[in-house]
Every structure is written in C-alpha cells, then in structure tokens.
Amino acid sequence: MNGQQSTCDHHLPLPVLRAEPKHVHWRPTQSAKRFARRPHVIAWTCACWPIVYEKLMVGGSYLIRHTNQSDGSGAVPLESPPTRHEEADTLWRKILSGAAT
C-alpha cells in the first residue's frame, strides 16, 4: 500500500482483471443487522491487497465481503448479495482469477 513494495510473500498474486470482468453488485453491509450475529469468515485475501475480500457464511447464506482499503474513506465494507454456497464459491473463484470485480 501507499505505493511501497509489499514485504508480504505469503499471499496469492493480485488478480489481473479480464477484459470484461463480471461486475459484482456490491452494496452496503447488511449481514450483521439482518442476521443479528457475526458472520463466520470462511476465506479471506491478504490484508496487503488494496481490496480485501472475505468469504462469509451467515445464517446459512454465503456472501463475499469487499473492503477497499485504498480509497481513503475509512475502508467501509461492502457485500455481495447472499447466495447458496456453490454460487458464493463460484463468485469467489472469479474474483481471485480476475473474472469478477
């Protein structure tokens, strides 16, 4: 971050966006309110990425949380719409491969 070379060597390479990536309908985080419980974090990307992605399970639904740490607005998390596990897995793989953003 801040244009400095990352010293982190354990993370996945940053995804290279495809020519026409699927644009996820990110929206303000609602999981805590809707489910009145903390989501269970199943997977996450390294915090040294400008955008951190987390795969969450909450109340039997699955969603991806998106936190842009580089936009200077205090890193407000956004979420994808909750889906079934397979759909969230597919979206997760698309994000990590640069096919969705």
Chain residues binding Zn ion by CB under 5 A are 8, 11, 46, 48
Shortest Å distance, C-beta 67 to Zn ion: 14
Cβ closest to Zn ion, residue 8 vs residue 76: 8
Nearest residue to 96 (alpha-carbon basis) of 28, 44, 20: 44
Check if the beta carbon of residue 39 is closer than 8 Å to that of residue 57.
yes
Cβ closest to Zn ion, residue 5 vs residue 73: 5
* Helix (H) or strand (E) run with residue 56 in it: strand 51-58
Shortest Å distance, C-beta 7 to Zn ion: 9
Beta strands 77-79; 51-58: pairing state: unpaired
Rg, Å, the chain Cα set: 14
Cβ closest to Zn ion, residue 42 vs residue 48: 48
Shortest Å distance, C-beta 85 to Zn ion: 26
